[in-house]
Each structure stands twice: as structure tokens, then as C-alpha cells.
A = this chain, B = another copy of it.
Amino acid sequence: MSEITFLEAIREGITEEMERDENVFCLGEDIGAFGGAFKVTDGLHARFGDSRVIDTPIAEAGIVGAAAGAAHYGMRPVVEMQFIDFVSCAYDMLTNYVATARYRAFLPCPIVVRGPSGGYVRGGPFHSQNPEAAFLHTPGLKIAYPATAEDAKGMIKAAIRDDDPVLFFEHKYLYRRIKGTMPPGDHVVPLGVARTAREGTHLSIITYAATVWKSLEAAELLAAEGISVEVIDLRTLLPLDDSAIVATVKKTNRVLVVHEDTVTGGVGGEITARINELCFEWLDAPVRRVAAHDVPLPYAPPLEDFVLPQTSDIVRACRWLAAY
């Protein structure tokens, strides 16, 4: 078994699910013969044809709504946002229609809305977003955000099989930089379960997506200084894996939350609140956050670098926390 990229892993996952279940189909802008802006669906149109890989007009609310309608009648739509930044155009449809369908009307709505997210790529304010926090207070949705190629495959498969709607964020920085060897067989990684990306004893970093890699890099650097850092990759943000969070807090007693989204209103707040509620007594230091500065993400490299959290930031923050 050879290594494949994060992007190829997603494609492999979608392909396998389309083979397994004829109700799975893809829709989105330019995903057909063209294979999508990032080529995630490359080859699917040739393989599965016009009615299972559908090129749509530019209409995010329309596409998501159509996916919901199809899902009510037994389909399993996988919707691509060309960039996840455009999911904002479907915000009403997702939070009001899709998320509530089961609760208010007993309507099954198993859709996946996926797309390239995240920064560090000089994409500017509208091609670099991390909108996960905007959906965190929407009961009825699930939010997945994998960091490894293995998880990308296993979680997209889990998302497609999930009986409820899943937002699936694919960090575009990882698409071609991260590789992995897929476990054999039907590799499904359940949603809602976090992963220990690195074991450690002095302090814990709780993070997800691209900053998992920055955190691992920081942990490596800190190891040389004698600071042992545990890195928890949340993988799913809704539902959050409380038990994994509690376990690492009880182990190291010091927590740094790291994410790429802006600090104010980001997922870090929710994690901090849960730690307070579930294991406050175990804390030897305040929970602290390393995240983006509170500005729209600018485009020029020196500006983007300044705004986003960097490995050196994590290193400094960990030193502070270890010394607390």
C-alpha cells in the first residue's frame, strides 16, 4: 500500500461510498468533468456519470437546499463548496432548514457539505476562511475537520454514512502537503472521537486541522528543551469529545487551545468553558488560547504570517504555560 495525499484520501473515501451506496451523489460548481477547483472529484464524473456527479449553477443556498430535499427522499448528497468561504451564502439554509429538519419535522437530512478551508496559502480574506465557529451553536449539525490523510478518508466516509447533516472542512494547506498510508479495508473513522496526536506529560495542546501540524512541530522543538507536550487532535468539533479533553487535562493539568480561526468567538472559548465545567479542579494554570488575531485575514505574506498563529507562537505560549 502506497502513500496518498490528504486530497486523494478524500477522493478515495467519496469513491468508495459512491460504490457502496447508489444513493450517494455529488453536486457542486465545476465538480463534473472538470473535477472541481482543487480536483477532489477528479475522475468521478467519468466513472459515475451525469446523474451522480452534478455540475450546478453558482447558487450555494440553492445547492444545499436541493441536497436537503434529495436527502429527505433517501439520497445521500455530498455537496462541494468551491471554497468553504462561500458556505456563508448557504448559512440560512444550513442553520434554519437543514439543521432543524429532523427535530421540527422528523425529516431525515443526511447531507455532507464539504470544501477547502483555511489559510497559510496567501488566499486573502475570501479564500482562507475557517467558518466552523459560526456553526458551533447550531444543534442538529455535525462539524468534522480532519488533520491527517487517514482521518480525511475515514471521516469523509463516516460523514457520508451519518444519518444527520455534516459540515466537512478540508484544510487546503494539507491537500497536497500531507500524505498517509490508508489502512486496508473499509476504513471508517467515527465522528465525535478525538485523537492523541502526540503523547506528553507537562502540558496539553488541544487543537484541530492545520494547527495540529504546527503544534506537533512546536512539541518537537519543545522536547529539546525538556518540555513534554501532549497534542490532542479534536477531529470533530460538533459534537466535541469531552472525555478526551477531560482525560488530557487530568493528565497534564495545563492546557493550551490552538486554532487558526480568530481568537474571539472561535471554538477555543467553548473548549475553555467545557474544561472549566468538567475539570476545573485539575487545572494548574489558566487555559490559554493561541489563535488568529481578530482581523479579516489579509493577503500579503507578511500580513498573513503576522495574523495567523505560527509555530513559534505555540512554542512561546507553551514555555509560558510550562513555567506557570
Contact surface of A with B, Cβ cutoff 8 Å: 85-86, 88-89, 91-92, 95-96, 99-100, 103-104, 125-126, 133-140, 238, 240, 261-262, 264-266, 268-273, 276-277, 280-281, 285-289, 294-296, 298
Q: Are A262 and B137 in contact (CB under 8 A)?
A: yes
In the complex, residue of chain B having the shortest beta-carbon distance to the beta carbon of A299: B104
Alpha-carbon distance A262/B266, docked complex (angstroms):
16
Alpha-carbon distance A266/B137, docked complex (angstroms):
6
The residues of B that contact A126 with a CB separation of less than 8 Å are: 96
Alpha-carbon distance A86/B91, docked complex (angstroms):
11
Oligomer copy total: 2
The residues of B that contact A103 with a CB separation of less than 8 Å are: 125, 295-296, 298
Q: Which listed residue, B91, B96, B264, B294, touches A92 by the CB 8 Å rule?
A: B91
Q: Are A100 and B269 in contact (CB under 8 A)?
A: no
Alpha-carbon distance A85/B281, docked complex (angstroms):
39
User: Can you show 23 pairs from A to B with CB atoms below 8 A apart?
Assistant: A88-B92, A88-B96, A89-B92, A91-B134, A96-B125, A96-B126, A100-B125, A103-B125, A133-B136, A136-B264, A136-B265, A137-B264, A137-B265, A137-B266, A138-B265, A264-B270, A269-B269, A269-B270, A269-B272, A272-B276, A273-B273, A276-B276, A281-B286
